[in-house]
Amino acid sequence: MSHNPNQKICLIGLGQVYESIAADLHAYASPDTHWLFRPIGHVGLLESCADSVLSSIPQGVSLFVAVDGIALNYARMEIFVPAQERGLPMVNLIHKGACCSPDIQLGCNVWVGPGAVIDYQAEIGDNVMINPMARIDPQARIGNHGWIGRGASVGSCASLGSNCIIGDDVHIKAYTSIGKQCAIAQPGPWSQNITDGTFAEKSIWAPSRVIGEGYTFNTSCHAEESA
Amino acid sequence: MKSPLSPKHYLSEEIFALEQKNIFRKLWIFAGIKPALAAHNAFMTREIGGVPVLLQNCSGKIRAFENLCPHRLMPVQTEEFGQTPMRCVYHGWTFNPDGTVRTIPTERHLYNYDAETRQSMCMKQFAVHELGNMIFVCLDDNPLPFDDQFTPEFQEKVAEASMFFGPHAIHSNRRLDFNWKLMFENVIDYNHIPFIHPKSLLPAIPTFRHMFNNEKQEQPALAQISHGPEPVELHQLSFTRECFIDQQPYYWTKHAVKHYGRIDHYYNFYIYPNVNFTCVMGVAFPIQQYHPISAQKTQIRLTCPSVTVDNEYAKRHAANLRSVLLGEYRVMDEDFDALLAFQKAVHRDAPIMEQGHYESDLIAMAHVYKSLLNA
Ligand code: FES
Ligand SMILES: [Fe+2]
């Protein structure tokens, strides 16, 4: 919860996170905070309107970008990254019903929904959405642009690369290491270490993975010659 | 019409062994996609016709080997995908791009091969054919001419569509308890769509909505393999079909730089014996392969290549391919339920299938299959 008395915050985006913040403003900032809203009609408009929306924000206003729905993490970046590149100030929105240990590290544009718990020395990157009732255990690390589903948990010392999607009620066990760009959407415990671009879904059964440049090989890597 | 196939063709391990020998170790089999191997030493391993196969990029050229070290028959590459030189993990032998043994650690002290043996030792190399971004392998010592298996027109279409693949793909393998032929027959039998996919596929495909509501509508005619009384040949079994689709494109694919064909079309490229390569709205290219494990077990190999996009965020996000994969499984799961039920129920003394006029393609295919089997 932000305690800056004359704070001005602009909420940009669409989807459930946007709606839930807009419906509960007092739970995120003091009552005298001045709120501005930039709702976006459709996820397909993000790219084309990013510049004009960001230019319309008055000096001294901090931003929070909330986009979810289809392609949630990547779509949110279409506003988040240009805002960051312009050096615009961004806030974290932590619901007053969430519980965060004082020694955690948070990037910017982090949402912590009601009932979520972030335990001691956890490290959360930029642009991470932590949904209601989720739990981040001691010393867990979550990379940038992550999505932690409702009721999900990340066990102590577990680490998640950037752009990971952890679905609702997924429980990543302590010390598990998850690469970047992974999606685990199979409710229940998960303790397997997985490499970049791995997907585990209830409806797929078998883990799937991204193959190609940057995942299973690197063009720039001069792998040791057999010659 | 009675089917040329009998229940034993879906049950018998002897027939499965014949298929492995006379179909999967004889014909050109789709093995993988080029974007998965687009750098020196990038490799993939898999099995074809019961043989462990290694595809390795050797200085830009994709080569196929039997993935067995001549020393103690260890697999040379042990991961499914990766990037490492060909070096056996067990005793460190390394290999030349032609599969011959390059170096043997402590060779002089420990092995003492005579010159002839030393020179003859190698991983067996297989024939490779690249068709656009699709890689085919033939395990036979005298590979069938590629043109005998696929017509030039068909080759051209597959090559053209596959050139739209982007640099990534999402790949998944899944094992199911039914015979591999059932799934290939199932994707050609369009008549199951209103019954098995009433909510998933039917609403998206006006061609079938109209067909099953007896409405006249201008639409591409469904291609067929057989048109007359002449016996069908192997190269006719791989063919294309197209129909309309009116689904909303996935959000991230709106950034596609180019799209294949018509954006309102759904294309099928049936690649005999076991691949259904599709193109959805010009931008999604799921490749389904029905890989035989045994008479009653199939590995579903699903590869969904990306498309080239011009949006920085979408480009970085191979994770978006997940939506294509989920869409594919949503439809395939409905097929799997039906085919698992078939496999459970069928037994050796079950009657022969009674096929109707619309199944002439399947009948023609079964005749070619039987002649391959008994060759
Ligand atoms: S088995 Fe490969 S080096 Fe010995
Ligand atoms: Fe189907």
What is the distance between the alpha carbons of residues A193 and A173, in angstroms, rounded to a whole number? 10
Considering A38, A68, A85, which residue would you say is the last residue of a domain?
A85
Whole domain around residue A36: which residue ranges?
8-85
What is the distance between the alpha carbons of residues A156 and A148, in angstroms, rounded to a whole number? 15
- Pair A163, A180: CB distance under 8 Å: yes
Q: Is residue A159 a part of any domain in this protein? A: yes
Strand partners, B369: none
Spell out which residues of chain A touch residue B102, defining contact as CB-CB under 8 Å: 226-227
Q: Chain B contact for A42, CB < 8 A?
A: no
Taking an 8 Å cut-off on Cβ atoms, the answer to whether B318 and A210 are in contact is yes
Taking an 8 Å cut-off on Cβ atoms, the answer to whether B320 and A74 are in contact is yes
B249: tokens are 């494109």
ipTM score here?
A: 0.90
Q: Is residue A148 a part of any domain in this protein? A: yes
Q: Chain B contact for A221, CB < 8 A?
A: yes
Does residue A158 share a domain with residue A59? no
Indicate which CATH number applies to the domain containing A132.
Answer: 2.160.10.10
Residue of B nearest to A227 (CA): B96
Task: Give every CB contact of residue B166 below 8 A, 6+ residues apart in sequence.
Answer: B35, B305, B306, B307, B308, B309
Q: Chain B contact for A163, CB < 8 A?
A: yes
Task: Specify the pLDDT at position A130.
Answer: 97
Q: What percent of chain B has pLDDT over 70?
A: 91
Average pLDDT over chain B reads 91
- Count structural domains, chain A: 2
- Pair B288, B268: CB distance under 8 Å: no
Band of the pLDDT at B225, cuts 50, 70, 90?
Answer: confident
Q: Is residue A211 a part of any domain in this protein? A: no
Q: How far is the CA of B17 from the centre of ligand 1 (A)?
A: 29
Tell whether the model's pLDDT for residue B373 goes beyond 50.
Answer: yes
CA-closest residue to ligand 1 atom 4: B91
Does residue A33 share a domain with residue A111? no
Residue B9, helix vs strand vs coil: helix
Under DSSP, the state recorded for A223 is P
Mean pLDDT of A7-32: 94
Considering A85, A110, A145, which residue would you say is the last residue of a domain?
A85
What is the distance between the alpha carbons of residues B73 and B35, in angstroms, rounded to a whole number? 29
What is the distance between the alpha carbons of residues B208 and B14, in angstroms, rounded to a whole number? 38
Q: At what angle do helices A46-55 and A72-85 cross, to 10 degrees?
A: 30
Does residue A115 share a domain with residue A56? no
Instruction: Report CA A90 to chain centroid distance, whole Å.
Output: 14
What is the distance between the alpha carbons of residues B54 and B347, in angstroms, rounded to a whole number? 37
Q: Does the C-beta of B121 come closer than 6 Å to ligand 1?
A: no
What is the distance between the alpha carbons of residues A212 and B318, in angstroms, rounded to a whole number? 10
Tell whether the model's pLDDT for residue A206 goes beyond 70.
Answer: no
Spell out which residues of chain A touch residue B303, defining contact as CB-CB under 8 Å: 211
Considering A62, A85, A108, which residue would you say is the last residue of a domain?
A85
Mutate to test the interface with B, among A46, A74, A196 (most CBs of B within 10 A): A74
Q: Between A and B, how many CB-CB pairs are < 8 A?
A: 148
Of A70, A163, A211, the CB nearest to B36: A211
Q: Is residue A43 a part of any domain in this protein? A: yes
If 0-12 CB within 10 Å is exposed, 13-18 middle and 19+ buried, where does residue B125 land?
A: middle
Q: Chain B contact for A49, CB < 8 A?
A: no
The 10s digit of each residue's pLDDT in A57-75 is 999 999 999 998 655 677 8
Dihedral-angle region of residue B50 (phi above 0 means left; psi in -120 to 50 means alpha; beta otherwise) = left
Q: Chain B contact for A209, CB < 8 A?
A: yes
Residue B206, helix vs strand vs coil: helix
Q: Alpha helix (H) ranges present in B40-135?
A: 107-110, 115-120
Helix (H) / strand (E) containing A65: strand A62-67
Mean pLDDT of A183-208: 84
Q: Which strands sit side by side in the sheet containing A135-136, from one edge to the other?
A: A99-100, A117-118, A135-136, A153-154, A170-172, A188-190
Output the CA torsion A216→A70→B314→A67 (10° steps).
-120
pTM recorded for the entire structure: 0.87
Band of the pLDDT at B224, cuts 50, 70, 90?
Answer: confident
Q: What percent of chain B has pLDDT over 90?
A: 73
Taking an 8 Å cut-off on Cβ atoms, the answer to whether A74 and B319 are in contact is yes
Task: Specify the pLDDT at position A119.
Answer: 95
Spell out which residues of chain A touch residue B35, defining contact as CB-CB under 8 Å: 211-213
Q: Does the C-beta of B237 come closer than 6 Å to ligand 1?
A: no
Task: Specify the pLDDT at position A220.
Answer: 74
Q: Which among B90, B104, B111 is the best mutation to test ligand 1's pocket, defined by most ligand atoms within 8 Å of the CB?
A: B90
CA-closest residue to ligand 1 atom 3: B91
Q: Which domains does chain B have, with CATH numbers?
A: 1-26+151-375 (3.90.380.10), 28-143 (2.102.10.10)
Q: Which among B74, B103, B111 is the best mutation to test ligand 1's pocket, defined by most ligand atoms within 8 Å of the CB?
A: B74
Q: Does the C-beta of B93 come closer than 6 Å to ligand 1?
A: yes
Neighbours of B317 (CB within 10 A): 24
Tell whether the model's pLDDT for residue B221 goes beyond 80.
Answer: no
B321: tokens are 């391919």
Spell out which residues of chain B touch residue A201, defining contact as CB-CB under 8 Å: 322, 325-326, 329
Instruction: Give, in degrees to the nearest 5, the angle at Cα A112 between A110 and A117.
Output: 130
Task: Specify the pLDDT at position B249.
Answer: 61
Does residue A81 share a domain with residue A97? no
Q: Is residue A115 a part of any domain in this protein? A: yes
Does residue A202 share a domain with residue A97? yes
Cis peptide leading into residue B273 (ω within 30°): yes
Does residue A97 share a domain with residue A62? no
Q: Chain B contact for A70, CB < 8 A?
A: yes
Residue of A nearest to B318 (CA): A210
CA-closest residue to ligand 1 atom 1: B72
Strand partners, A14: A67
Tell whether the model's pLDDT for residue B212 goes beyond 80.
Answer: no
Taking an 8 Å cut-off on Cβ atoms, the answer to whether B168 and A210 are in contact is yes
Residue B233, helix vs strand vs coil: coil
Does residue A170 share a domain with residue A122? yes
Taking an 8 Å cut-off on Cβ atoms, the answer to whether A213 and B85 are in contact is no
Does residue A170 share a domain with residue A126? yes
Q: Chain B contact for A71, CB < 8 A?
A: yes
Q: Does the C-beta of B190 come closer than 6 Å to ligand 1?
A: no
Does residue A190 share a domain with residue A99? yes
How far is the alpha carbon of B253 from chain A, nearest alpha carbon, in Å? 11
Mutate to test the interface with B, among A194, A213, A216 (most CBs of B within 10 A): A216
- Token pair 């391990």 is found at B13
Q: Is residue A223 a part of any domain in this protein? A: no
Per-residue DSSP letters for B290-323? EEEEETTEEEEEEEEEEE-B--HHHHH-GGGGHH
Neighbours of A3 (CB within 10 A): 8
Ligand nearest to the CA of B191: 2
Does residue A116 share a domain with residue A67? no
What is the distance between the alpha carbons of residues B260 and B158, in angstroms, rounded to a whole number? 11
Taking alpha carbons only, the member of B83, B338, B196 closest to residue A217 is B83
The 10s digit of each residue's pLDDT in A79-128 is 999 999 999 999 999 999 999 999 999 999 999 999 999 999 999 999 99
Q: Does the C-beta of B86 come closer than 6 Å to ligand 1?
A: no
Alpha carbon of B331 to those of A65, A69, A207, B187, B193: distances in Å?
35, 22, 18, 11, 10
Higher pLDDT, B159 or B321: B159
Q: Is residue A190 a part of any domain in this protein? A: yes
Q: Is residue A226 a part of any domain in this protein? A: no
Does residue A163 share a domain with residue A107? yes
Does residue A198 share a domain with residue A103? yes
Q: Does the C-beta of B74 come closer than 6 Å to ligand 1?
A: yes
Mutate to test the interface with A, among B37, B58, B168, B312 (most CBs of A within 10 A): B168
